[in-house]
Structure 1
Amino acid sequence: MHDRRAHRPNPTQRQTRTPLMTRFPNRRLLAIALASTLAAPAWAQQPVDPQAAFGFPAPPADTPAPATAPVPAPSAFTVSDIRVDGLQRIGAGTVFTYLPIERGDTVDSGRVGDAIRALYDTGFFEDVRIGRQGDILVVEVTERPAINKLTLTGNKDIKTEDLLKGLRDIGLAEGETFDRLALDRVTQELTRQYNNRGKYNVVIEPTVSPLDRNRVDVTIKVDEGKAARIRHINLIGNDAFDDETLTDSWESGESNWLSWYRRDDQYSREKLEGDREKLRNFYLDRGYIDFTEDNIQVAISPDKRDMYITAGLIEGEVYTVSSVEVTGDTVLPKEDIERLVFLKPEMTFSRALLEFSSDQIAATLSNIGYAFAQVNVIPEVDRENRTVAINLQVDPGPRVTVRRVVFKGNARTADEVLRREMRQFEGAWYSQAAIDRSKVRLQRLGFFESGSVNVESRPVPGSNDLVDVEFSVTETTSGSFMFGVGYSQLSGMTTSVQLSQNNFLGSGNRVSVEAQRNVYLQRYSFSYMNPYFSDNGLSLGYNLWWREFDNSEFNTAQYSSTSRAAQMVLGIPITEHDTVSAMVGIDSNQIFAWRGSSPQSIVDYIDVIGQRTFHAWRAEVGWARDTRNDFLQPTRGTLQRVTAEVSLPGSTAEYYKLNYEFSKYWPISRALVLNTRLELGYGDSYGDARYGTVYDPYIPADEDAPPTGDPVPREAVADGLPFFENFYAGGARSVRGFRDNTLGPRESAWNSPYMQVIGGAVKTVGSLEMFFPTLFDSPAARVSAFVDFGNVFKDVDAFDAGELRASAGVALMWRAPVGPISISYAMPLRDEEGDELERLQFTFGGAF
């Protein structure tokens, strides 16, 4: 027995406790019905055993009466105590909190009905009965079970996270009270959503498994089935345009050979509504103001697998523009605003041009502070003459100042790092162009997921001329600590320890420490870059590295080198898109080459120079222009970079190198992005050529006899780009389908028939690559089809376009949690005998 006095809540709790009626609004009618059916019998049977007051069967007639049998009571009585029976998980205090009857109250059938309704409204109970035993009010409840575990299986079209969030919003979640009616509503809603996606064969099977302690496990099994396919689209009444022209931009389409990728033949009600809007826009953009859809019918086959769409059209007549007038407060000179109107008199009416004109006017005003500028289009249609007079009424609204620029979602990145990318400043007039530019600059930092930077302007409450601009971001991994292995076909197994952070401690600085070792390379390096060394964007960085390199394992000439360098890098922003860079450094390169193993020209170059260690003071200047819209996966924009590198006078070898890189992204459609890429390189020496005498071993006439006698002298020259600075082409990051670095000039060692790749002073590499961004839902993966071409030549005179190699294939790039992976399969389109082909190529652990 639960004593009301022991569980009486304090008045404050009673006032602040919110009934659960709002969560279960549909129970009110049910509670009223139950109250009327349960309360009246309870009071009508007062002289009977108290069990009968709860609706239980009365004892047999010959059962002895209890010593304390209830005494017949009047229709109302005063409650001396309250007892709650049937509780398992819920405390009696919770019942007392929501029960509108207290000890000492006078109770009649009306108040009992109110009490039953109040307890039902909590949503905690499946059944509530109220009776009396003497002057004690007895409350009998049956609790609803609690949800122990909620499981979703089989759902692919709708993500599990989205489904669980939706279920949680209606109270169906782990730990919540189970409601069978809510589960039924979920089943109906899921069926409706899948039907809207064209999946009419979907089967939703909810299963409720009872557990001990009044708990249940809920499993919702989804069998999505296959989407119904659009087999035919029939347009009736279109005389001016054929069906193919009208449906060319539709997302819905009849089954075709590209439907496996575009999925345009999968019926969806939302897609069809969008296509109907496109149809209306098509006609309105061509002057058909009176265009209407007579009706549209969607039929489905008996097996719910095929859809047939029929639409009746009434095209009407073509209208022309009789006049265009700009009125209202234009703020700027009226003639300047009129120049933004692209729809002129005597032109065929076009809603697209009209909307573009109004958008341009609003955008122009928003860039000078009028954030809420509106352009109201008032057309006057003359159906008799088939003309339209247009009045563009400009309402600039108040001029707006930005009060605050705030950031959300940057848990690791300091606000200062984001704020220095802003082109919209606090206290300045609102400018939509500046805000858009700020958004692009944040996307190009590489600290945030692709497409995750969003911006919203919020009016300040109580003011019509102040707004707050809020940027929300989703951070991505901007660095890594890696200890492990990688593998590529070129370098084989790679062991490495690397600490790299493009956003070191949230400061925006780039720091990298690396130790790497594989079959041909040992490398230890440190680099640091502060992109905002000064407030105006001056960047300053340092590079230190030591490298031991065996070229013979690099598909190139057989020689090895040990090099070290120290460099300082400076960057100066010139415009919003342009940057000038400079680098100065000192390096040392020790070469190990052997006559009979290394190509003859390499041995001759070293002998003429007279030493194996090359010291250089190196300088580099460059210019870059970057208008890409994203750092990780751009879909539009251009990257151009020009660099000139020179070893300063006094270096062991005096030379220069020029590089030009071009990459442009062309958004063809939502599902297609074309990238055109070109890379050119050229190098040469400056100053006078250096001549010297070299000595070849004497070769006797008898080839079987060993070399004897004095070495044979020969004049040689060291000129042009040093061999250790040559360009190379071929491989996964150059011309795919050919082994890494195997394209270009070849040369044999002294007295050896084996030809080795030595690179060249001229490089030409290009690519056409089509990306399919919607093929995978994950932003970390992308697929492309490409055509690569290129080659390396000894010098300018040796360049021959007919010697360019080409290949075509497909590629998969994936930013996996363990590191980036790139896989490509290419078929050579243009190759020559002796080329080293490698159709399947992959890398793991490198950037792409």
Structure 2
Amino acid sequence: MTRYPVRRLLALALASTLSLPAMAQSVEPFTVSDIRIDGLQRIAAGTVFTYLPVERGETMDQAAAGETIRALYRTGFFEDVAVDRQGDILVITVKERPAINKLTLTGNKDIKTEDLTKGLQDIGLAEGETFDRLALDRVTQELTRQYNNRGKYNVQITPTVSPLDRNRVDVTIDVKEGKAAKIRHVNVIGTDSFSNEDILANWESRESGWLSWYRRDDQYSREKLSGDMEKLNSWYLDRGYIDFSIDSTQVSISPEKRDMYLTASVTEGEVYTISEIKVTGDTVLPQDQIERLVIPKAGDTFSRVLLELSADSITNTLSNIGYAFARVNPVPTTNREDRTVAINLQVVPGPRVNVRRIVFKGNTRTSDEVIRREMRQFENAWYSQAAIDRSKIRLQRLGYFETVEVETPAVAGTSDQVDVVFNVKETTSGSFVFGLGYSQLAGMTASIQLSQNNFLGGGNRVSVEAQRSDYMQRYAFSYLNPFFTDEGLSLGYNLWWRELDYSDFNTAQYNSTNAAAQAVLGLPITEHSSISLLGGIDSNQIQTYPGSTPQSIIDYVNAVGQRTFHAWRTELGWARDTRNDFFMPTRGMYQRIGLETTLPGSTVEYFKINYEFSRYWMLHPAFVLRTGLDLGYGDSYGDDTVRNLCWTPGSYVDSDGDGQIDTYVPGPAPSEPCLPSSPDYDKTVVATGLPFFENFYAGGTRSVRGFRDNTLGPRSEPTGGYSRGQPLGGSLKTVGQIEMVFPRLFDSKAARVSAFVDFGNVYDGWDNFDANELRASAGVALLWRAPVGPISISYAYPFKKKDGDEIERLQFTFGGGF
């Protein structure tokens, strides 16, 4: 019997070099009558046979033995292989590599565990896979490199392999990240025309500053520095310095690996102007139409960014009419003596492309029809980049998807067809909530709510709600079909009943019981704009409390002559929405104006106008500026209601003898209306203006934070136990916000932090508006769509206030919308 030993190999080539000479000295060719595999524990013998290059009946010689060994090593299953012969039986003895029982990562904060796990799985280092020591070494080196690139040079990666029974191992990778080295100084040498401050303004690598804790721009990374060098090059090319060059870059680190020093040496060169600029090639569209898209003109200072914008404008224009692969090649001709450059923009349109199919992936709940009706790019139509981009934004604004990505793969075998693939990741579009909430305004809230914005995946919105709190009972049902017709006409219904105790609502003391049935129609009139029409009937029963309810409210109810107000109500609205996202917009604008009115024949006849405005600017990936405005005005129309009342008013008495008036003794109830000549005549009451139960309110978490909810604006006369009077609201509302949102503070679209300035107030009509009466506050806020319900927390400091204002700096709401 002859044995061919093969030691552990670090590489396949080394295996061939070491083993083949030994076998060549001792192998005698023989015909294999059978094959036996020894040493297998987890791997089935049948699996090994599929990799063997030799079968029964074939001749085994030195070359075949070497190929057998190489084939088995290539599988990655074995760390040792030996070939034996017992008579005419080929015996292959193997030592399996152990299987990974458990893979654990500890200490990693800068790089997420899920990202690391996925990367390890891609190279075969995962639970259940065969353990490879070389792969573990490569992982250690790669992790060290990645952390170094993030400026963490003190990182320590310690892998531990713990053997287990049945040829298994546990692998633990312990990461001690250490602290990132901070950039202490950045210097650009050779900049005679510009200051370093101007050049470094847009760099990602910057010296430590007071905002570096948030922006992390003082942490060095190789990728950031490479990008900054490109920005430096662009800075000069955009200002005409065609001969600009970066001569060298130097990165120095302190001995303790905590401080970084960056230096770049440059040569500026001279400024060039454009002597001529022309468009050539197949422009498809009329030549003069394309030339109008070119921004720089002859005589202007050369600017690469303006040339790129011009090229992008031309390619975008052509891509919108089907030329998806259009290119514009700027060809410069430089005259260094005159310091001029001639530019030739060569247009290469490529083939006109047709969209074969539009495919949706990832929508496990949402039907294709719901997504397809948002498309502005159509199948079997010319490719349009603008239509595809618009389709993506419409999907993002539905609120059904966490992410939306678009691919346009070419159709195999053709040069003029593509497919458009939308990859979506669905998010929760509905909820079933049974639980408790708390807010400083409402107190404890018990509610049960079933809502679905994408009911059964069909895009319809259904909500059933029952809610009870310290001040309110509410039962409601709503339904909306946003595509009742193929043209986009929406149809919805609202039914609700509500009993509201305003005594716990920080407003005037009275009770209200409401019920309503409404129908809502909506119709898009442009890509961004729509109109809506609401019609319905409602009733509102008012209960007042003599001695507690302000006299102005009692007089209004008495003037009307009944406590139940019936109304035929309509509302006409117009809205325009160009925001780029449903949950977390970073740019775009939303505005809506609505006119609500009760029809003639209602108990009281009045109208209300509301205007809402929000606009978002992305100042930086880390900063989004939001401005908002909320205006409202209402008044009555038609004749005022006047009644003469015969009654005796109540009085306040000292009930406990402490010398202070504290108890109200009501007088007799009002009798039938009577003439002023009646001996029981007391006074005339008038119902005019916007009804008190339709007044606007301000102050609190949804308007001017830092002031107690609903407490701003007009108040009743101080009476009884209400020394400061009771908030009445007003018929004119002016509220605004300026808010800086920090979208990168959390790696989640479910939470955001902002710093804000709120201002506003409510007034009793136009004539009483006074800008000096506006209140204002500044503060910070956290909004979080938590799994248990939305949470809003704000801390505000009122910096424009007056004596008597009710201040509440820390405000929060749990379980309500925001």
2:761 corresponds, among 784, 791, 815, to 791
How far, CA to CA, are the matches of 1:191 and 1:586 in structure 2?
69
How far, CA to CA, are the matches of 2:54 and 2:99 in structure 1?
27
How far, CA to CA, are the matches of 1:493 and 1:737 in structure 2?
21
In the alignment, which residue of structure 1 is the partner of 2:462? Answer: 511
Q: Could you report, residue by residue, the CA deviation over 1:607-626 in whole angstroms, capped at 9, with x for unpaired residues? A: 11111111110111111111
Say whether residues 1:732 and 2:701 are aligned partners.
yes
In the alignment, which residue of structure 1 is the partner of 2:227? Answer: 274
2:376 corresponds, among 423, 426, 451, to 423
1:27 corresponds, among 11, 15, 33, to 11
- Pairwise mapping of residues 489-504 of structure 1 onto structure 2 (< 5 A)? 489-504=440-455
1:777 corresponds, among 741, 744, 747, to 747
In the alignment, which residue of structure 2 is the partner of 1:672? Answer: 623
When residues 75 and 429 of structure 1 are mapped into structure 2, their CA distance, relative to the original with a 3 A threshold, is: closer
Shift of 1:464: 2.0
Quote the sequence identity (%). 70
Q: Could you report, residue by residue, the CA deviation over 1:568-594 in whole angstroms, capped at 9, with x for unpaired residues? A: 011111111111111110001111002
When residues 759 and 847 of structure 1 are mapped into structure 2, their CA distance, relative to the original with a 3 A threshold, is: same
Partner SS for 1:721: coil
In the alignment, which residue of structure 1 is the partner of 2:157? Answer: 204
Say whether residues 1:720 and 2:689 are aligned partners.
yes
Partner SS for 2:697: coil
Residues 697 and 712 of structure 1 are in contact (CA less than 8 Å); yes or no, is this contact kept in structure 2? no
Shift of 1:101: 3.7
Question: Which letter maps to 1:697?
Answer: P
Partner SS for 1:413: coil
Residues 595 and 749 of structure 1 are in contact (CA less than 8 Å); yes or no, is this contact kept in structure 2? no
Partner SS for 2:549: coil
Say whether residues 1:596 and 2:580 are aligned partners.
no
Residues 648 and 667 of structure 2 are in contact (CA less than 8 Å); yes or no, is this contact kept in structure 1? no
In the alignment, which residue of structure 2 is the partner of 1:443? Answer: 396
Shift of 1:709: 8.8
Shift of 1:458: 2.1
Say whether residues 1:846 and 2:816 are aligned partners.
yes
In the alignment, which residue of structure 2 is the partner of 1:536? Answer: 487
- Pairwise mapping of residues 100-179 of structure 1 onto structure 2 (< 5 A)? 100-179=53-132
Question: Which letter maps to 1:144?
Answer: R
Say whether residues 1:628 and 2:579 are aligned partners.
yes
When residues 749 and 650 of structure 1 are mapped into structure 2, their CA distance, relative to the original with a 3 A threshold, is: farther
- Pairwise mapping of residues 822-841 of structure 1 onto structure 2 (< 5 A)? 822-841=792-811
In the alignment, which residue of structure 1 is the partner of 2:780? Answer: 810
Q: Could you report, residue by residue, the CA deviation over 1:172-220 in whole angstroms, capped at 9, with x for unpaired residues? A: 1111111111110111111111111111111111111111100001111
How far, CA to CA, are the matches of 1:664 and 1:607 in structure 2?
45
When residues 78 and 396 of structure 1 are mapped into structure 2, their CA distance, relative to the original with a 3 A threshold, is: closer
- Pairwise mapping of residues 390-409 of structure 1 onto structure 2 (< 5 A)? 390-409=343-362
In the alignment, which residue of structure 1 is the partner of 2:671? Answer: none
| 428-437 or 733-742, which deviates more | 428-437
In the alignment, which residue of structure 1 is the partner of 2:649? Answer: 697
Shift of 1:702: 10
When residues 220 and 751 of structure 1 are mapped into structure 2, their CA distance, relative to the original with a 3 A threshold, is: closer
Question: Which letter maps to 2:38?
Answer: D
Say whether residues 1:453 and 2:404 are aligned partners.
yes
Residues 706 and 777 of structure 2 are in contact (CA less than 8 Å); yes or no, is this contact kept in structure 1? yes
Partner SS for 1:271: helix
Say whether residues 1:239 and 2:192 are aligned partners.
yes
Residues 395 and 404 of structure 2 are in contact (CA less than 8 Å); yes or no, is this contact kept in structure 1? yes
Q: TM (normalized to structure 1)?
A: 0.91
When residues 702 and 212 of structure 1 are mapped into structure 2, their CA distance, relative to the original with a 3 A threshold, is: closer
Question: Which letter maps to 1:334?
Answer: Q
Partner SS for 1:572: strand
In the alignment, which residue of structure 2 is the partner of 1:61? Answer: none
In the alignment, which residue of structure 2 is the partner of 1:765? Answer: 735
Q: Could you report, residue by residue, the CA deviation over 1:247-292 in whole angstroms, capped at 9, with x for unpaired residues? A: 1000000111111011100000000000000000000000000000
How far, CA to CA, are the matches of 1:833 and 1:663 in structure 2?
31
1:562 corresponds, among 488, 500, 513, to 513
Question: Which letter maps to 1:427?
Answer: N
In the alignment, which residue of structure 1 is the partner of 2:218? Answer: 265
| 103-112 or 88-97, which deviates more | 103-112
Residues 644 and 684 of structure 2 are in contact (CA less than 8 Å); yes or no, is this contact kept in structure 1? yes
How far, CA to CA, are the matches of 2:618 and 2:519 in structure 1?
38
How far, CA to CA, are the matches of 2:485 and 2:393 in structure 1?
22
How far, CA to CA, are the matches of 1:85 and 1:753 in structure 2?
95
Question: RMSD of the TM alignment (CA)?
Answer: 2.0
When residues 597 and 378 of structure 1 are mapped into structure 2, their CA distance, relative to the original with a 3 A threshold, is: same
1:820 corresponds, among 770, 784, 790, to 790
Shift of 1:667: 1.4
How far, CA to CA, are the matches of 1:772 and 1:255 in structure 2?
19
In the alignment, which residue of structure 1 is the partner of 2:600? Answer: 649
Shift of 1:121: 2.0
When residues 80 and 645 of structure 1 are mapped into structure 2, their CA distance, relative to the original with a 3 A threshold, is: closer
Shift of 1:133: 3.6
How far, CA to CA, are the matches of 2:808 and 2:364 in structure 1?
45
In the alignment, which residue of structure 2 is the partner of 1:89? Answer: 42
Instruction: Work out which of the two has the higher radius of gyration on C-alpha atoms and give 1 or 2.
Output: 1
How far, CA to CA, are the matches of 1:100 and 1:164 in structure 2?
35
Shift of 1:34: 5.1
How far, CA to CA, are the matches of 1:81 and 1:582 in structure 2?
86
1:522 corresponds, among 455, 465, 473, to 473
Partner SS for 1:566: strand
In the alignment, which residue of structure 2 is the partner of 1:49? Answer: none
Residues 583 and 749 of structure 2 are in contact (CA less than 8 Å); yes or no, is this contact kept in structure 1? no
Partner SS for 1:245: helix
Partner SS for 2:726: strand
Say whether residues 1:545 and 2:545 are aligned partners.
no
When residues 469 and 379 of structure 1 are mapped into structure 2, their CA distance, relative to the original with a 3 A threshold, is: same
Unaligned runs of 5+ in 1: 1-23, 45-73
Unaligned runs of 5+ in 2: 1-7, 669-679
When residues 103 and 551 of structure 1 are mapped into structure 2, their CA distance, relative to the original with a 3 A threshold, is: same
Residues 696 and 714 of structure 1 are in contact (CA less than 8 Å); yes or no, is this contact kept in structure 2? no
Say whether residues 1:284 and 2:232 are aligned partners.
no
How far, CA to CA, are the matches of 2:170 and 2:666 in structure 1?
92
| 254-263 or 686-695, which deviates more | 686-695
Q: TM (normalized to structure 2)?
A: 0.94
Q: Could you report, residue by residue, the CA deviation over 1:149-191 in whole angstroms, capped at 9, with x for unpaired residues? A: 1111111222222211111111111111111111101111111
Shift of 1:331: 1.5
